[in-house]
């Protein structure tokens, strides 16, 4: 009797492309997962970054399927990243990489798709436990990194989820008190219209610190977002501390606005490159108060749980789920 052998499926290439980092992983039958984080600025194009990853982990390998999450709007074949000078055609990239299939989505669409697949240790409550999500209700997803990503999940009749793809990080940011009005006035002088991303991102944290320094009559130091955060948490710089407190308050406000807009009684999830480093600080900050501080809708928001995504690479979870769903809908 002969035994049938099933050929291993070709490896799947996943990528999470941001303005600062390009994260890649290769997974599949007979191919141990291998993840590599490369500096986006070190490459002139997405194609070059992909090839750099493949050459680094296994020269000569040629995956045939891929799914990429990119920090920018995906509205057609031509894609331009928002905070990185990369522009590409999905069709041309698929051909150049020798792929039979390539899915490209906004990075926070991928993060949103990951939410239903998060395990017990992949998130934690913000502002304490005791609130319960409504099963099947919309879910809000946002997160600061190099920019501010925003998405959401809407349940489908078959028990799955559809992720929203938009550019909600560029909504206008509103102040809640006179101090915030002063800060945003400074930002308007520099940028004109002040979007949420101008405050809720790595560069946004620097913007807040700089505005506070100017309001205090002092020249701001040339501090990076990480340096501002470190000084704020250590208590060595009052203006860094105030900048981080403003950051948390604004994040709560924007998260609450998104939850109201989507009717996100299924919960609000905060991800991105910055927030997971601030887990304990967010619990003590004004985030939860500002999330709920919406006048007559306070009670509505008070029942909505907020979660901090602690999974290190949630976009990969979402991309894998996307590929699986597409494969089931369109089998080869």
Kindly tell me the burial class for residue 222, based on how many C-beta atoms sit within 10 Å of its own C-beta (0-12, 13-18, 19 or more).
Answer: exposed
Look at residue 5 and tell me if it is in a domain: no
Look at residue 176 and tell me if it is in a domain: yes
Structure tokens at 1: 């009797």
Looking at the structure, tell me whether residues 152 and 85 fall in a common domain.
no
Structure tokens at 97: 């990489």
Looking at the structure, tell me whether residues 279 and 142 fall in a common domain.
yes
Range 202-205 contact pairs with CB under 8 angstroms and sequence separation of 24 or more: 202/20, 202/144, 202/145, 202/146, 202/273, 202/274, 203/146, 204/144, 204/148, 204/247, 205/229, 205/243, 205/244, 205/247, 205/274
Looking at the structure, tell me whether residues 63 and 163 fall in a common domain.
no
Structure tokens at 255: 């998260």
Main-chain dihedrals φ then ψ at residue 111, nearest 5 degrees: -65, -40
Say which CATH number the domain at 164 has.
3.40.367.20
Looking at the structure, tell me whether residues 213 and 281 fall in a common domain.
yes
The pTM score is 0.90
For residue 4, the tally of other CB atoms under 10 A from its CB is: 4
Looking at the structure, tell me whether residues 184 and 285 fall in a common domain.
yes
Domain of residue 101 covers 12-106
Query: How many Å apart are CA 150 and CA 148, to the nearest integer?
Result: 7
Query: How many Å apart are CA 223 and CA 230, to the nearest integer?
Result: 10
pLDDT in tens, the chain (332 residues): 444 445 556 688 999 998 889 999 988 754 546 789 999 989 999 999 999 998 888 766 778 899 999 988 999 999 999 888 899 999 999 999 999 999 999 999 999 999 999 998 999 999 887 789 999 999 999 999 989 999 999 999 999 999 998 889 999 999 999 999 999 999 999 999 999 999 999 999 999 999 999 999 999 999 999 999 999 999 999 999 999 999 999 999 999 999 999 999 999 999 988 998 999 999 999 999 999 999 999 999 999 999 999 999 999 999 999 988 766 655 55
Look at residue 116 and tell me if it is in a domain: no
Look at residue 118 and tell me if it is in a domain: no
For residue 284, the tally of other CB atoms under 10 A from its CB is: 12
Looking at the structure, tell me whether residues 145 and 259 fall in a common domain.
yes
Say which CATH number the domain at 24 has.
3.30.420.40
Strands 268-270 and 139-144, by their bridges, are parallel
Strand-by-strand arrangement of the 139-144 sheet:
123-125, 306-309, 268-270, 139-144, 148-155, 161-163
Query: How many Å apart are CA 275 and CA 98, to the nearest integer?
Result: 37
Number of domains forming the structure of the chain: 2
Looking at the structure, tell me whether residues 199 and 275 fall in a common domain.
yes
* Domain's final residue, options 80, 106, 132: 106
């Amino acid at each position: 009797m002969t035994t049938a052998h099933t050929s291993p499926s070709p490896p799947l290439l996943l990528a999470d492309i941001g303005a600062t980092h390009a994260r890649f992983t290769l997974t599949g039958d007979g191919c141990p997962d291998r993840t590599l984080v490369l500096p986006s600025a070190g490459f002139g194009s997405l194609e070059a970054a992909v090839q750099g990853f493949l050459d680094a982990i296994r020269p000569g390998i040629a995956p045939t399927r891929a799914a990429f999450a990119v920090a920018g709007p995906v509205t057609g074949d031509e894609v331009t990243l928002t905070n990185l000078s990369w522009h590409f055609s999905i069709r041309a990239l698929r051909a150049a990489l020798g792929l039979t299939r390539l899915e490209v989505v906004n990075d926070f669409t991928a993060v949103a798709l990951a939410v239903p697949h998060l395990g017990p240790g992949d998130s934690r409550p913000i502002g304490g436990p005791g609130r319960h999500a409504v099963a099947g209700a919309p879910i809000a997803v946002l997160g600061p990194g190099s920019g501010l990503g925003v998405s959401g999940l809407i349940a489908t009749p078959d028990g799955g989820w559809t992720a929203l793809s938009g550019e909600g990080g560029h909504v206008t940011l509103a102040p809640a008190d006179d101090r915030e009005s002063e800060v945003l006035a400074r930002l308007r002088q520099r940028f004109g219209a002040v979007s949420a991303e101008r405050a809720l991102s790595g560069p946004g944290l620097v913007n807040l610190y700089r505005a506070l320094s100017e309001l205090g009559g002092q020249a701001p130091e040339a501090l990076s977002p990480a340096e501002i955060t470190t000084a704020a948490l250590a208590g060595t710089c009052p203006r860094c501390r105030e900048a981080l407190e403003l950051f948390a308050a604004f994040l709560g406000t924007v998260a609450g606005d998104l939850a109201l807009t989507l009717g996100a009684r299924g919960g609000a999830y905060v991800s991105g490159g910055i927030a997971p480093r601030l887990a304990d600080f967010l619990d003590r900050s004004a985030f939860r108060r500002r999330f709920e501080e919406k006048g007559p809708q306070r009670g509505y928001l008070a029942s909505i749980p907020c979660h901090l995504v602690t999974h290190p690479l949630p976009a990969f979870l979402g991309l894998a789920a996307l590929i699986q769903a597409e494969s089931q809908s369109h089998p080869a």
